Structure 1
Amino acid sequence: MILSGDALTARASAIGFFVLFPGFILYHTLVAMGMIPALLGGLFGVVSVMMFVVYCALLPSQLYSLLSTTRGYALLTFALFAYVLLWAVANYVLLGSGVMRAALIQTIETLVLWLVLFVMGYRVPLASPRLARAFWIAFVLIAAYLLFHVATTGQWMFFARRMIEAEGGENVSTYQGYARSALVLLVFLIAVSERAVVRAALIVLGAFVMFVLGARSELYAFLALSTLLLTLWAGMSVKYMLTLLAVVAALIALVVSQFEALAGSRQLQILDLSGTSSWLARQNLGQRAVEQILDSPLLGRFGGHISSAEATGGYAHSMLSAWVNYGLLGFVLYLGLTVSAFFGAAYRMFVVGDRAAGWVFAFSINFVCLLLIVLAKPVFWPLPALGWGAYANALAAARWAPGSDTARRGGVTGAHHDESEQHDAARDSQGRNDNESGTPDLRPSAL
């Protein structure tokens, strides 16, 4: 059977989505256990480059429908990509130095990940039963292994690199890569699940998984998302009100019963951040970014985090890093894409009343991304691009839904959106980096 470009993109997106998120956790755990060699290095960077090549070949078949069904949103996204690339190249050409070269490479790495995650989010078949089944199997395996880890070791943090006694630990991700993948895994499963009791179990087990993986930012973003969703749903349904109460009771009971063991964990250091070295370091980096912005509010200072900290990981851990590197216009485009996606999905879910998985996923992933880029993540963290793609996906699905103007007109783009091909592809489908940028760059963060 010959598949269309649309079906091929959907299939590639489903496979890549699984590999980069639940597959990432499974791969690194098996490498850490010595069960498989690190054939793909850190996986995220290598697979992203492979997906980039695939998408570059398939993107021409997607462009017309992408631009025509997303109401200009995709055009703004590509405008950001083009602007950031031109800005980086121009700075390198005009100022050519070692710092500019390092900043250019870091920007290109980020753009590769942005493009991959944006197209992946746009074309991932959320309605695919096979994809959902694969995610569920991975989640059960991950949760069961972490339960076993806590029960047998008594340790409430899983740190895969500690399992490597010989050389080769650099090929195993730190907790940040694990948490990034687990966060997307949980958001996807919450979006595609429909029963309140299933979502409740996901939230309780998901909170346990995120806690044991040890990344504070992702843990509290997941808890904030869960609280927000359950609170909003509780206002519309008695069963969700009961679900919210049950989830809160279960989490309180877990914390109370294990408080002595949890009290010394880094996750609970949030209760006294002033005494933690990482928080103090982030405060210093943030203050440095503010100073650079005040010195040049319109243009920022491309590569300023490298010249001041002498490391590619010396960025402000917030959206301010976008302002420093890409100026005011880059900052506005970067933040605006996530803000508009979040509020657009929120309007569709809670005002229009559309509870389709696409809107739930777009709302959820953009909420956690917005929260984290405001509080903890730099512009080089790639997940916001997945949120942009998820919103474009939901917009396109709404335009092609039965009864919509686009569906009634049919149009010349029908060949690109043949629903039978999409469902066939759905049935058949199923960072290399240790710092928070998520790029293939192996240079460590300053933190």
Structure 2
Amino acid sequence: MVLSGDALTTRASAIGFFVLFPGFILYHTLVAMGVIPAVLGGLFGVVSVLMFIVYCALLPSQLYLLLTASRGYALVTLCFFVYVLLWSAVNYGLIGGSVMQAALIQTVETLVLWLVLFVLGYRIPLDSPRLARAFWIAFVLIAGYLAFHVATTGQWMFFARRMLEVEAEAGDSVSTYQGYARSALVLLLFLIAVSERAVVRAVLIVLGAFVMFVLGARSELYAFLALSGLLLLLWAGMSVKYMLTLLAVVGVLMALVVSQFEALAGSRQLQIFDLSGTSSWLARQNLGQRAVAQILESPLLGRFGGHIASAQVTGGYAHSMLSAWVNYGLLGFALYLGLTLFAFVGAAYRLILLGDRGGRWVFAFSVNFVCLLLMVLAKPVFWPLPALGWGAFANALVASRRERDADDMGYAGTLGRHDDEPGQHDAARDLQGRNDNESGTPDLRPSAL
């Protein structure tokens, strides 16, 4: 069987989506337990590079539809990628030195992840029962294991690296809690989007809050809670069932917090209510102030690699969208923020004003809301997840265009048959003994053939 480029891209995206997100958690947990060796290193980077190679070969077959059916959105996204690459290369060529080299390498690595997650988001088969089933199995395994961890250890945070009983260097092969939380967040957003029943979504939100809490990343936890509350409020306005679901979810979460308050009081997740005393928050404040100073020195051009020059490490960036302004100038910042903002507003328009509850639009809305919130508050430009939101929005646009074209073709075909073969149509109607609209709805669907 020979698969088309479109089918190959879809299949590669489904496999990659599972491996990069729920598969990431399963892989690192098994490595931390000593069940398997770290044959893929950190997995996310290795698999992303492999997918980058695959997508480079398959992307030409996708470009025409992607560029024409996404109303220019995909074109702007690809132009942003090119702009960032050229901007980085020009700065390195003009200035040179180890700082510019490190900044260029960091940008190229980010671009690889951006392109992979963008195409991945564009080609995820959200309507695939097999993919949904695989995600459900992974979610049950992950939630069950974390519940077992809490019950047996009494610890409300799972830190995989602590499971290793070897020298410290080996811990680099196991992800930190940020990697776990990123993958769990996407896993939950996908399942909420493809699920249709209110009860199922309520269970996902409650168990998802537990999973995100135990994994320990504050940003992802509170972004997930904010999204869950927003979605339930939107759905509650459309259905009494969801209004009751909202009240039930709030009640369950409050009961869990009250019943376990003593055990949770000292956790880092609840430190958000008193951030002034946490070292990580103070460090982020300093990095943010340094970024603002660099932007004020050069508002138009920023200072490419300024975070490395100031902190002497590639991780010395502002933990917000300001890092995009520092590295890629005002235009780069506007494109970076604008892509996510436009995708969020566009998905919100379809979801709220047009009442489209399709899984693609729910997923695009969810990913872009979370990314927009965290870009403003906590995540740097080198965080790759916004590209998944850009791709998810393009996916929804292209799918809507295809459905509209299919409806138009079906309607045109129906008119053609009426005009070209009136005798046959009348004979068939007489034979059936009824007219076309007796069922109560005219048939505007395309032919099954």
**TM-score (structure 1 length as normaliser):** 0.91
Q: 1:242: how far off?
A: 0.3
Q: Describe the shift of the 1:240–1:95 C-alpha distance in structure 2 as closer, same or farther (beyond 3 A).
A: same
Q: Of the candidates 304, 307, 319, which is equivalent to residue 305 of structure 1?
A: 307
For residues 176 and 406 of structure 1, the distance between their equivalents in structure 2, rounded to whole angstroms, comes to 46
For residues 6 and 373 of structure 1, the distance between their equivalents in structure 2, rounded to whole angstroms, comes to 32
Q: Which residue of 2 aligns with 1:179?
A: 181
Unaligned 5+ residue runs, structure 1?
411-447
Q: Which residue of 2 aligns with 1:99?
A: 99
One-letter code aligned to 1:13 = S
Contact 1:9 1:58 in 2 (8 A): yes
One-letter code aligned to 2:18 = F
Q: 1:116: how far off?
A: 0.0
Q: 1:72: how far off?
A: 0.1
For residues 123 and 114 of structure 1, the distance between their equivalents in structure 2, rounded to whole angstroms, comes to 14
Q: Which residue of 1 aligns with 2:198?
A: 196
Q: 1:409: how far off?
A: 10
Q: Describe the shift of the 1:87–1:209 C-alpha distance in structure 2 as closer, same or farther (beyond 3 A).
A: same
Q: How many residues align?
A: 410
For residues 88 and 409 of structure 2, the distance between their equivalents in structure 1, rounded to whole angstroms, comes to 41
Q: 1:24: how far off?
A: 0.1
Q: Which residue of 2 aligns with 1:136?
A: 136
For residues 361 and 97 of structure 1, the distance between their equivalents in structure 2, rounded to whole angstroms, comes to 42
Q: Deviations over 1:103-151 (max 9, x none)?
A: 0000000000000000000001000000000000000000000000000
Contact 1:338 1:387 in 2 (8 A): yes
Q: 1:406: how far off?
A: 7.2
Over 3 Å off, 4+ runs = 402-410
For residues 410 and 110 of structure 2, the distance between their equivalents in structure 1, rounded to whole angstroms, comes to 39
For residues 409 and 159 of structure 2, the distance between their equivalents in structure 1, rounded to whole angstroms, comes to 50
For residues 294 and 225 of structure 1, the distance between their equivalents in structure 2, rounded to whole angstroms, comes to 33
Contact 1:13 1:120 in 2 (8 A): yes
Q: Which residue of 1 aligns with 2:21?
A: 21
Q: Percent identity?
A: 82
For residues 332 and 404 of structure 1, the distance between their equivalents in structure 2, rounded to whole angstroms, comes to 36
Q: RMSD in angstroms over aligned alpha carbons?
A: 1.1
Name the structure, 1 or 2, with higher relative contact order (CA <8 Å, separation 6+).
1
**TM-score (structure 2 length as normaliser):** 0.90
Q: Which residue of 2 aligns with 1:423?
A: none
Q: Which residue of 2 aligns with 1:283?
A: 285
Q: Of the candidates 211, 217, 220, which is equivalent to residue 218 of structure 1?
A: 220
Q: Describe the shift of the 1:409–1:165 C-alpha distance in structure 2 as closer, same or farther (beyond 3 A).
A: farther
Partner SS for 1:317 = coil
Q: Which residue of 2 aligns with 1:355?
A: 357
Q: Quick check: 1:162 aligned with 2:178?
A: no
Q: Which residue of 2 aligns with 1:345?
A: 347
Partner SS for 2:388 = helix
Q: Describe the shift of the 1:328–1:236 C-alpha distance in structure 2 as closer, same or farther (beyond 3 A).
A: same
For residues 235 and 306 of structure 1, the distance between their equivalents in structure 2, rounded to whole angstroms, comes to 48
For residues 340 and 325 of structure 2, the distance between their equivalents in structure 1, rounded to whole angstroms, comes to 15
Partner SS for 2:319 = coil
Contact 1:317 1:375 in 2 (8 A): yes
Q: Which residue of 2 aligns with 1:430?
A: none
Q: Deviations over 1:134-181 (max 9, x none)?
A: 000000000000000000000000000000010311100000000000
Q: Describe the shift of the 1:143–1:407 C-alpha distance in structure 2 as closer, same or farther (beyond 3 A).
A: farther
Q: Describe the shift of the 1:408–1:105 C-alpha distance in structure 2 as closer, same or farther (beyond 3 A).
A: farther
For residues 300 and 334 of structure 2, the distance between their equivalents in structure 1, rounded to whole angstroms, comes to 11
For residues 253 and 26 of structure 1, the distance between their equivalents in structure 2, rounded to whole angstroms, comes to 30
For residues 44 and 194 of structure 2, the distance between their equivalents in structure 1, rounded to whole angstroms, comes to 24
One-letter code aligned to 2:160 = A
Partner SS for 1:381 = coil
One-letter code aligned to 2:301 = L
Q: 1:279: how far off?
A: 0.1
Larger Cα-atom Rg: 2
Unaligned 5+ residue runs, structure 2?
413-449
Q: 1:408: how far off?
A: 6.2
Q: Which residue of 1 aligns with 2:90?
A: 90
Q: Describe the shift of the 1:164–1:69 C-alpha distance in structure 2 as closer, same or farther (beyond 3 A).
A: same
For residues 411 and 22 of structure 2, the distance between their equivalents in structure 1, rounded to whole angstroms, comes to 39
Q: Of the candidates 243, 246, 249, which is equivalent to residue 248 of structure 2?
A: 246
Q: 1:407: how far off?
A: 5.6
Q: 1:353: how far off?
A: 1.2
Q: 1:352: how far off?
A: 1.1
Q: Which residue of 2 aligns with 1:274?
A: 276
One-letter code aligned to 2:163 = M
One-letter code aligned to 2:13 = S
For residues 318 and 406 of structure 1, the distance between their equivalents in structure 2, rounded to whole angstroms, comes to 44
Q: Quick check: 1:44 aligned with 2:58?
A: no
Q: Describe the shift of the 1:261–1:89 C-alpha distance in structure 2 as closer, same or farther (beyond 3 A).
A: same
Q: Describe the shift of the 1:89–1:258 C-alpha distance in structure 2 as closer, same or farther (beyond 3 A).
A: same
Q: 1:342: how far off?
A: 0.1
Q: Quick check: 1:81 aligned with 2:68?
A: no
Q: Which residue of 1 aligns with 2:403?
A: 401
Q: Which residue of 2 aligns with 1:413?
A: none
Q: 1:402: how far off?
A: 4.7
For residues 267 and 315 of structure 2, the distance between their equivalents in structure 1, rounded to whole angstroms, comes to 25
Q: Describe the shift of the 1:408–1:114 C-alpha distance in structure 2 as closer, same or farther (beyond 3 A).
A: farther
Q: Which residue of 2 aligns with 1:7?
A: 7
Q: Deviations over 1:184-218 (max 9, x none)?
A: 00000000000000000000000000000000000
For residues 405 and 296 of structure 2, the distance between their equivalents in structure 1, rounded to whole angstroms, comes to 51
Q: Deviations over 1:24-57 (max 9, x none)?
A: 0000000000000000000000000000000000
